[in-house]
Each structure stands twice: as structure tokens, then as C-alpha cells.
Chains A and B, each alone.
Chain A
């Protein structure tokens, strides 16, 4: 069977307005997607994204709220400035463009997370494995690699 790309999904706990979406993410995620739920995107340190790649992830999806819809008022504004710049830095240092993706959710966008995950997985399959920045072979196994 073809290897599926390992995706780490960082999800702000408030960004999925629909209860069905949230329960889908919590219970029915495909095996190659690992969910890390955070109180807000503002909680996501750039180190988390680097650690994901170092531990063998092929892609990172960050899901957060649109501006003005943040539960903590401006957590997402700080997160966007930092995390997008961090992505640009990783690309500058040689990472393939598109391995980190951001989804900023509006409150009426039901079912968007499933679509985003599917198209992200497709893109990552085309890119292949990510050997760059990988640093922890032991943890990569523990983190749910599927080969």
C-alpha cells in the first residue's frame, strides 16, 4: 500500500464552529493525521512546527479563526504574523513550499476542515517524503509513521 503523508494538525479549539466538524476531527481523523488541539492559535510556538518536521511529519496544517472572531480577541493576529514568517524562514532554508498550510476558518464554513485536509494530503503526496530538518528517527516511529 502506498504510504500516506504524515500530517500534524494544529487546531484552535474554537475555530470549528460546527459541532459535527469538531467531533469529526476528534474521533474520525484518518490515521495519518495527528491532532494537536490548542486553546488558541496564539499558543502555537514556531518550535512546535519545527519539532513536527524534526519528528518526521511531512506537513503541518494550522487551523485557526478569522480576524475579529478570536475567542481571545487577538491571539490569531499574533499567531499569523509569527507562524507565517516562520514558514517563510523554513522555505528560505530549503524546505519545500507548501508543507505548512494555514486555514483561517469563518464561522459559516461547515465541512471546510475535511476538504482542506483532503487537498493538503493530495499536495503532500505529490511532494513526497520530507527528509529535510528530520532529526529524530526514534520519535518519528513513536509519532505514528506508517511505513
Chain B
């Protein structure tokens, strides 16, 4: 086993958004300050997959995730002047989305985030068609993915969200700390504990 296997690979997003951290970030902030609809259209296209996936895993409810997706972008429009271009746009975006999820949970007088999803009937989300793999491979892959989905929905939301932000959205620890408005040490401890909890939530013999 190579030593390289243990180092964290550079997140996709680091490469994709390296350019955005300089002049593009500033022009993005200017566009948001002007409430430029073209800038927002582009951002909605660009982040639709990541934001929807984040909301879906956080809430476990497709209708609620859709509503919150739209509300997040409305809030980005209304509060665009607050984005200061010092942090990554995606951190700011996920923080807005997370605050909306918390607002919804408060409105519904739900004690915690995990009650948002229909825990009694937590079904895996609908997966898109995959035509490039054999039916058998597809079945096995889907089963694994569904097992992971279900296990993820079973664990407490405060572990789920750090796992999603770290391993799915590939944010750095500092960025996660910004999104959650939580100290770095708490983020780390939730990640360590979350990994253990997620593994224990998997059915016997899985992953």
C-alpha cells in the first residue's frame, strides 16, 4: 500500500474554484451586490447539483429540499451585498442553506434537524439512470449507494452535515467551520465521531 494513499487528495473544488478565489471572486461579489440576474442564473446552474444534494441529505425530504433550494437562491439575491469575497462562495452558499434548514425546523417546532426527514419511511432518493455499466454492476453499485444513503440518514444531523461537507462537498476544515459557525476543534471532533457513527450505522457486512 502506497504512502500516498493516506494523504488527502486535493479536492476537486480546489482545482475548479482556484480561479474564482482571485478576480472572479471579486467580480462575483460585485455581481451579487448589483443583484445581477445573469450572475445568479449562472450560479444556479453551476451549483444546482451540489446544493440540492446537500439539502436533500440534510433534510431527507425531496419536496423540502426543492423548496429550500429555491429559498436559498432568493436569500442569495437579497443578501448578496453581504458576501465579502474573502471566503469561497460555496461556503457562504452552504451556510445560507443550512440556516434555512434550521429556520424551517424552528418554524415546524422540531427539536432537532434529524426530525425533518420522514424517519419512519426513509427511502433512498431516486437515482439517475446509468447506461455505461452492466445491469448486475448497476444493481450492486446502487445497493451500496442506497445502503450508504440510508445509513447517513440514520445518524444525527450534526454528524451527517460535517461528513457531507467534508467528504461529499470536499470543503476544507476551515470552510466547514465557517459554514457551521463552529470552532475548528468541534468540526474535527464531529468528523472523527461521525465516521465512527456512520460505520456503526451500516448493516452487517456492508462497506
Physical interaction between A and B: no
Residues of A within 8 A of B (CB): none
